[in-house]
Amino acid sequence: MDAVENLHEKAFRSYAPGHWPEIPPEQWNDWKWQLRNRVTTLESLEKKIHLTPEERAGVILSGNKLAFAVTPHYFNLIDPEDANCPIRRQVVPRIEEGNTAPWELADPCGEDSHMPVPGIVHRYPDRVLFLVTDRCASYCRYCTRARVVSGVGEQELHTDFEEAFRYLETHTGIRDVLLSGGDALLLSDGKLEQILARLRAIPHIEFLRIGSRVPIFLPQRITPEFCKMLQKYHPLWMSVHVNHPRELTTEVKEALWRLADHGVPLGNQSVLLAGVNDSVEVMKTLVQKLLQSRVRPYYLYQCDPIRGTSHLRTSVAKGIEIIEGLRGHTSGYAIPQYVIDAPGGGGKVPINPSYVLYHDEEKVVIRNYEGKVFEYPELAAEKTGANLRDDVKCASGCRGK
Ligand code: SF4
C-alpha cells in the first residue's frame, strides 16, 4: 500500500541522471536522439541492468519474434534492482515468450481476415483501423500485432496507401478512421499531415482518431509544432496507452497537457497485465493520475491471447474484481470499460460486475458498490411493451419474459 501511495506522491521525471548522465537536456529532449539511442541489444541492456537468466534468454529469442527496443526516456523508469519491476515486465523480453498455450494465436482478433485491402482492418460497420506503419518507439511484449510489428516477426505489413484511400473514399458508410500500426506518431510531421489531410478531404469521414503509445514512450515527440499541425484536422481524438502510474512522468504529463491544450480529447487504453497493474490499488492510482493528466480512462483490455503472453495474462475474474473495486470508490470519469476483444474478430465485448440481482416484469433488484440491496420498480416494459432480455433469469429459474 505504501508503494502505491508513493506513486501518487512522487513526481517522476525520467530526466534524472539515470543511465545517460552525460547527456545534456537539449539532446535528451530531442525525440530523434531518443529514437537513435534506444536500448536494442543484449550487450547494451546488460551494461545497464542485471538480467535474470529468463530475461537474457528472452532477449535472444526476441530477435526473430518481436524486436526488443526501449527509448532512454522509458528505460530510465525501470528499477534496475527489481526483476519484477512493472515497467521492466512490459518491455524486457522473457523466455516464457517462447511458450505457446493451446488457446494462443498469432492473430487473435482476426484482423487479417477482416482486411479488405492491405493496411485497412474493417471489423465494425462504420469505422476502420488504418495501419500506417509497423514501427513503434518501444515494443510491448504483449503486443496484439506482434506478428507484423517491429519488422522481425512472421508477417510483414505492406500497407498500400493509394488502395487504402480509394477504399475509404468509396465506402461511404465509414465515418470514423483510427490511425494505428505500429505507431502513427513515429511518422514525420509532414508524412502524418499528408495522411490526415487526405482523410479530411473525404466528406463522409467525420471523426479521426490516433492510437498511440508515443506520448508515453517518447513524450519529446509531442512538440508544440506537432500539436499545431494536429489542430488543423479536428475533430481529432487520441487514445494513449498507459498501464502503470509510474509511466505518467512529469514529461509525459506535460506532453498530454500540450495535446489537450490544442484541443485533442484524450482517452486511455490500458491492458490488464499480471505483475504490472493487476491490483485495485495500482489501477485506482493509475486512473486518478490519468484524470490529473487530462486523460479519460477509456478501455481496460483483457490481454489478448497472443502467442507467448501467458505469463502476462490474468484471469477475467481479476479484471471484474478491479472494476468492482473502482466503481463507487472513485470518480465515475475515472472508470474504464473492461472489455474482451472477442477472439476471431467478434469485436470488443464489455465485461461488468453484476449489479442486477433479480429482474422481472415488476421490479429490478440491484446492489450498490457497498453491497447494499435496493429494489426499483420496472415500468419500462408496461409502458413501452418492451420485453425483458431473454437471458435474464429470475431467482426461481424461470425466464424473465
Ligand atoms: S506501442 Fe502498441 S503497437 Fe507498438 S508494440 Fe506496443 S502495443 Fe504494439
Mutate to test the pocket of ligand 1, among 91, 145, 147, 180 (most ligand atoms within 8 A of CB): 145
Predicted local distance difference test score (pLDDT) of residue 118? 95
360 catalytic, yes or no? Answer: no
pLDDT computed for residue 64 by the predictor: 82
Please tell me if the CB atom of residue 183 comes closer than 6 angstroms to any atom of ligand 1.
yes
Instruction: Say how far apart CA 297 and CA 311 lie, in whole Å.
Output: 25
Buried b (16+ CB within 10 A) or exposed e, 91-130: bbbbbbbeeeeeebbbbbbbbeebbeeebbbbbeeebbbb
The rounded distance, in Å, linking the Cα atoms of 348 and 342 is 6
- 64 — phi, psi (to 5°)? -125, 30
- Of the pLDDT bands very low, low, confident and very high (cuts 50, 70, 90), residue 15 is low
Ligand 1 contact via 145 beta carbon (within 6 Å): yes
Average pLDDT on 200-209 reads: 98
Specify the ligand 1 atom closest to the Cα of 271. Answer: 7
| Whole-number percent of the chain with pLDDT over 90 | 85
Task: Give φ, ψ of 235 to 5 degrees.
Answer: -75, 120
Name the more confident of 7 and 54.
Answer: 54
Among 46-50, 149-153, 227-231, 264-268, the least confident range = 149-153
Residue 275 is placed in which grid cell?
505483475
- Reply yes or no on whether 109 is catalytic: no
pLDDT per residue as tens digits for the range 270-285: 999 999 999 999 999 9
- Determine the atom of ligand 1 nearest the C-alpha atom of 214: 1
Confidence bin at 344 (pLDDT 50/70/90): confident
| Ligand 1 pocket member 136 (CB < 6 A) | yes
Which residue of 149, 152, 301, 341 sits with most ligand 1 atoms within 8 Å of its CB, as the best mutation to test the pocket?
Answer: 149
Task: Give the C-alpha separation, 166 to 68, whole Å.
Answer: 35
Closest ligand 1 atom to the C-alpha of 142?
7
pLDDT confidence bin for 17, thresholds 50/70/90? low
User: Rounded to the nearest 10 degrees, what angle do helices 280-292 and 316-326 cross at?
Assistant: 50
The per-residue DSSP string of 5-61 comes to: HHHHH----S-SSTT-TT--HHHHT-HHHHHHT-B-SHHHHHHHS---HHHHHHHHH
* pLDDT of 14 strictly over 70: no
- R_g of the chain, CA atoms, integer Å: 22
Q: Does domain 1-353 have CATH number 3.40.50.280?
A: no
**pLDDT of res. 63:** 84
102 pLDDT above the threshold of 60: yes
User: How much is the average pLDDT of 15-24?
Assistant: 80
Domains of the chain by residue range: 1-353, 354-401
Among the options 304, 307, 313, 338, which is catalytic?
304
CB contact at 8 A, 329 and 95:
no
Q: How confident is the model at residue 345 (pLDDT cuts 50, 70, 90)?
A: confident
pLDDT for the residue numbered 370: 96
Label residue 71 by pLDDT band (50, 70, 90): very high
Atom number in ligand 1 closest to CA 213: 1
CA distance 296 to 205: 24
pLDDT digits (tens, 9 = 90+) for 349-394: 999 999 999 999 999 999 999 999 999 999 865 555 555 555 554 4
